[in-house]
Structure 1
Amino acid sequence: MESEQEINQVTFEPTTKQFKALEYLGDPITEEVLFGGGAGGGKTVLGCFWLITNCLKYPGSRWLMGRAILKSLKESTVKTLFDMLANTFHFEKDVHYHYNEQAGFIRFYNGSEIVFKDLFLYPSDPEFDSLGSHEYTGAFIDEIQQCTNKAKEIVLTRLRYKIDEFGIVGKLLMCSNPTKNFAYYDFYKPTLNKTIKKTRVFIQALIHTNPHIPKSYVESLKRREGVTRQRLLEGNWNYDTGEDALFDFDSIVDMFTNTVEDSEDRFLSADISRFGADKTVIIQWKGFFIEKIYVYAKQSTSEVAKEIERIAEQNHIPRSKIVIDEDGLGGGVVDQLPGTKGFVNNSRPIETRKDEITSNYANLKSQCYFLLAKFVNEGKIGIYKVNETIKGFIVEDLEQIRQKDIDKDGKLAVVSKQIIKESLGRST
């Protein structure tokens, strides 16, 4: 096969933004490239083009193409890949490449491969063992806003296949629309502040930078309203989450670096259903600083009670300073630990010295969320250096806490747990 002749037939004219990204993807320094910031910026096309050209340039290399859900990857990103193989590279299936649909990869005539992977964080596979022991030369993750930082970090550890032989750096290309996860606080915000790591690059690509987008699609985005328009058309990473949001996003992120007033008083708070349906979470406080978060798989009430007792004894925390969510399974834990405080979400607000007008709140849960938001937004709460998975859950959960019926006169309340669950696509 006249491979050089085949490669020379490629018909692809990258946009200015795509060309810039390809330069970073080819340099000897950059390891992570985040490309995007709006719909129609040419994100997926860039990723597919980069993978194919590298497969042809480095015979026998192996590349990962990933997305949170494999079904979505095959229905969207992989279709773009095949379209580009046929119409940009003028390749024929079973001539220039073979597709093993069952195993989930394509192999080119020179031995290079693109492997399709599901990167969703399943509770049964927190370390992404599903990736196996495979190593990759580089990787492209589409719609990174749907993935966790843990998924991204695990992929980075696998980028070493034949890179010394080829004399290149293992690279990760990520594409995303504006989001409020690690893409925001590790790439977008540090780029604005000029504090981004030298191995990372963020390139903003909006729809107006792509001359290949149909005008009808642009017009359809212009007719959108609110957050959808801000994110997809305007590429606004600081999109307005609405007046009903209790927590300021930057203040949520700041908790992980805040220096708060020191205190000798320690407390424990326990939630028997947190970070997923079968999880128990115990939080250890020192004043308003969270110094430890314990996360457990499903346990009996007696096992949870023993663990709370162990942590309390180890840190000299009296039972009067332990609060336990008494709704559901938590009631059984409170019964086994006399002297602890039971928290009932729908109970009456608590009279406090600083907040005398408790009648303004619908219930205790609402009162506590409004007060927590006040302290977070004022920078009075800090959290120790947690792992990125727990950090992601905290940021996502707090961002979804909203005031209920903000346009109506009535008692202050927050939206239901069911609404939050539907927004997150998981339990809280």
Structure 2
Amino acid sequence: MSDKINIKQRKAYNLLRDDKNYFILYGGAGGGGKSWLGCEWLMQCAQNLPGTRWFVGRNNLKDSRESVSITFAKVAASYNFKDYRLTSDGIKFDSGSEIIFLDLTYYPMKDPMYERLGSKEFTGGWIEEAGEVHYLAFEVLKTRVGRHLNDVYGIPPKILITCNPKKNWLYKTFYKPWKEGKLKTPYAFIPALVQDNPFATKEYIEMLQNTNDNVTKQRLYFGNWEYDDDPSSLCDYDAICDVFTNEHVRPNGLPKLSADLAMKGRDRFVTGKAVGHVCTMILDKTYSPGKMIETDLRNAMIDHRVSRSNVIVDSDGLGAYLESYLTGIKEFHGGARALSDEYDNIKTQCAFKLAELINNRDFRIICTPEQEERIKEELALLKRANVDKDTRKKSLITKETMKATLNHSPDYLDMLIMLMIFELRKPLKGARAIVTEAD
């Protein structure tokens, strides 16, 4: 190691060289020496283990080539190391080893499962700026390391992951378990701030300190994972967390039910009961034949004393099926025209209403701890599409985009959005463009 390694980087090296920790997340702020660590580690591995094969992956190939090549050259110069050459595909070493630049862009239409990585074999590798990378890329790469000369050299598979704070799979897989003292091998996390790096320039530190954007400062200077940097997010993350502890929100009015339907092998069947702005999860099933859905929903209406006109279900094939048996319940048509022209459709208007209640701390959800974590994830994906285009109507990111991020359907979110139809209909009667009643 060179004399430009700080204490946190040395801790990372200890994990990268042990036999227990295979997936090491390093960073979580700006200026912690992430890129230097990645380049130096791979350079030493490639040079000292002849014939090995490593990767560097980012969200797009252009960034991999440009950013890594520049930092790698600086690291090599600090060692006066010249036994390598840059190529369009990566870095080749005189030792016969190579570092391959990978394009980890997510292509949901042509390669939703990252099959392009399925035939590759690596000794180990590095995912840089992992906050921009889809979790499936990480899952697939976990199966591709440890497959090239690892047995010859007696070394375990290793993936170094570097990032700034991001509320995605990194938060769920590494940061949150680490924060709670529950992160277990083969996963490890080393938080590294600019304050930990004695080689960070004074100008860079002052730039982070003096930024006027609080979210940027919280993320990149303080390394705060609880701040979402996405301007398209409709809900403040602190408000999302508060929705489960807003005990000042009391039940008021007639009970209502909202049900997102699903049969066996198809998402989840979830139902919430709302009394005023207090929503309680009452049904949550993954295996639900059609007849059972009908029976469960009928029993829920009876047990919770909910009239059929105060029940809303999604309008897909199952919703149409139910209205034949549960006369008087309402179907939700998300693509129907909104009550206001500023929204793309009624689902969007309902979603913005939900976000308004959450941000104002005027909504409460009562559920199990397991449900709470999943609902948090789904509410964090309540985002506006085309946020940079002020002339367009307000719209949401697509459900397909949400599914790709979650790896499942946002069933709780859909249920909560549909519930807002009762909020929007308060001053109206017979809004049949939004919901329909069974005759």
User: Which TM-score band (shorter chain)?
Assistant: 0.5 to 0.7
Contact 2:57 2:103 (8 Å CA) reproduced: yes
Q: What residue in structure 1 maps to residue 338 of structure 2?
A: 346
Q: What residue in structure 2 maps to residue 215 of structure 1?
A: 202
Candidates 76, 80, 90, aligned match of 2:71? 80
Alpha carbons of structure 1 residues 380 and 369: separation in structure 2 relative to 1, 3 Å? farther
Q: What CA distance in whole angstroms lies between the structure 2 residues aligned with 1:237 and 1:372?
A: 20
Q: What residue in structure 2 maps to residue 22 of structure 1?
A: 13
TM-score (norm 1): 0.66
Q: What CA distance in whole angstroms lies between the structure 2 residues aligned with 1:166 and 1:244?
A: 50
Q: Give ranges in structure 2 of 5+ residues lacking alignment.
A: 245-256, 273-280, 299-307, 325-329, 341-347, 388-392, 411-439
Task: Tell me, yes or no, if structure 1 residue 115 matches structure 2 residue 115.
Answer: no
Candidates 209, 215, 219, aligned match of 1:227? 215
Q: What CA distance in whole angstroms lies between the structure 1 residues aligned with 2:66 and 2:205?
A: 23
Candidates 158, 173, 195, aligned match of 1:171? 158
Equivalent positions of 1:346-425 (< 5 A) are 346-347=338-339, 364-369=350-355, 378-380=365-367, 394=378, 396-398=380-382, 400=383, 416-417=394-395
Q: What residue in structure 2 maps to residue 305 of structure 1?
A: none
Equivalent positions of 1:8-407 (< 5 A) are 11-85=2-76, 87-92=77-82, 96-101=83-88, 104-123=89-108, 124-161=110-147, 162-225=149-212, 226-239=214-227, 245=235, 248=238, 251=241, 267-269=259-261, 284-286=269-271, 288=281, 289-292=283-286, 312=290, 315-316=293-294, 323-324=313-314, 341-343=331-333, 344=336, 346-347=338-339, 364-369=350-355, 378-380=365-367, 394=378, 396-398=380-382, 400=383
Give the aligned residue type for 1:117: L
Q: What CA distance in whole angstroms lies between the structure 1 residues aligned with 2:372 and 2:114?
A: 22
Give the aligned residue type for 1:89: Y
How far has the Cα of 1:184 moved from its partner?
1.8
Q: What CA distance in whole angstroms lies between the structure 2 residues aligned with 1:377 and 1:16?
A: 44
Alpha carbons of structure 1 residues 366 and 127: separation in structure 2 relative to 1, 3 Å? closer
Q: Secondary structure at the match of 2:313?
A: strand
Moved more, 238-247 or 49-58: 238-247
Q: What CA distance in whole angstroms lies between the structure 1 residues aligned with 2:354 and 2:243?
A: 20
Alpha carbons of structure 1 residues 379 and 224: separation in structure 2 relative to 1, 3 Å? farther
Contact 1:145 1:181 (8 Å CA) reproduced: yes
Q: What CA distance in whole angstroms lies between the structure 1 residues aligned with 2:215 and 2:85?
A: 42
Q: What CA distance in whole angstroms lies between the structure 1 residues aligned with 2:368 and 2:384?
A: 17
Q: What CA distance in whole angstroms lies between the structure 2 residues aligned with 1:385 and 1:379?
A: 8
Q: What CA distance in whole angstroms lies between the structure 2 residues aligned with 1:237 and 1:19?
A: 23
Q: Secondary structure at the match of 1:184?
A: helix
Contact 1:48 1:84 (8 Å CA) reproduced: yes
Alpha carbons of structure 1 residues 312 and 383: separation in structure 2 relative to 1, 3 Å? farther
How far has the Cα of 1:249 moved from its partner?
7.6
Q: Secondary structure at the match of 1:394?
A: helix
How far has the Cα of 1:228 moved from its partner?
0.4
Alpha carbons of structure 1 residues 377 and 29: separation in structure 2 relative to 1, 3 Å? farther
Q: What CA distance in whole angstroms lies between the structure 2 residues aligned with 1:220 and 1:197?
A: 36
Q: What CA distance in whole angstroms lies between the structure 2 residues aligned with 1:45 and 1:392?
A: 34
Q: Give ranges in structure 1 of 5+ residues lacking alignment.
A: 1-9, 255-264, 271-280, 294-309, 349-361, 405-414
Contact 2:165 2:219 (8 Å CA) reproduced: yes
Q: What CA distance in whole angstroms lies between the structure 1 residues aligned with 2:118 and 2:243?
A: 33
Q: What CA distance in whole angstroms lies between the structure 2 residues aligned with 1:335 and 1:111?
A: 64
How far has the Cα of 1:236 moved from its partner?
1.6
Q: What CA distance in whole angstroms lies between the structure 2 residues aligned with 1:207 and 1:183?
A: 20
How far has the Cα of 1:375 moved from its partner?
10
1:47-106: per-residue Cα shift (whole Å, max 9, x none)? 010001001121111111111121222221232123323x123233xxx223331xx122
The number of residue pairs the alignment matches comes to 342
Amino-acid identity (%): 30
Q: Secondary structure at the match of 1:98?
A: strand
Alpha carbons of structure 1 residues 392 and 148: separation in structure 2 relative to 1, 3 Å? farther
RMSD: 4.4
Q: What CA distance in whole angstroms lies between the structure 1 residues aligned with 2:243 and 2:56?
A: 29
Q: What residue in structure 2 maps to residue 359 of structure 1?
A: none
Give the aligned residue type for 2:59: A
1:189-235: per-residue Cα shift (whole Å, max 9, x none)? 22222111122211111112212221111111111131001111111
1:376-417: per-residue Cα shift (whole Å, max 9, x none)? 96442777899xxx999736413x479x9xxxxxxxxxx932
